Amino acid sequence: MSKYESLGQFLKSRREERVPMTFAEIERVIGAPLPPSAHKHRPWWSNNGDNSALTRAWLDAGYKSEQVDMAGQKLVFRRIEGPRALSATGQHPLRGALKGLLRVMEGTDVTKPADPDWGNR
């Protein structure tokens, strides 16, 4: 478990649409100081999941960052509506939605190309 997963757990436990937090409150939740770049660079708080493990923690919890105030060292996490949003069980609401819609006939090799000559074109 990464040290940032505690922020994800904290946000998952919240029912509010918006969760305002200071950088100090985030540090208390994760039990460690934020990296210096979090205090200096606004892009550190972007909602790019490739940005950092902390970013993935709040996105996976179903929130995005907004209203980042670098001078005041605070921001708001707002619940995401849409593809990254999780259900109350912690799973994506579309999980299993297509179950049973596709049947593969017995004896069918799904790893074999439908057109064996496709690579020769």
Phi, psi for residue 73 in degrees, rounded to 5: 50, 55
- Residue 38 belongs to some domain of the structure: yes
Count structural domains, the chain: 1
Q: What angle do CA 70, 75, 76 make, to 5 degrees?
A: 160
| Nearest CA-CA partner of 68 in 17, 21, 119 | 21
Q: What is the pLDDT of residues 21-62, one digit of tens each?
A: 999 999 999 999 999 999 999 999 999 888 888 899 999 999
In a domain, 37, yes or no: yes
The parent domain of residue 71 ranges over 5-79
Full-model pTM: 0.66
Query: In terms of residues, how long is the chain?
Result: 121
pLDDT, tens digit, 9 for 90 and up, residues 83-101: 555 544 556 666 777 777 8
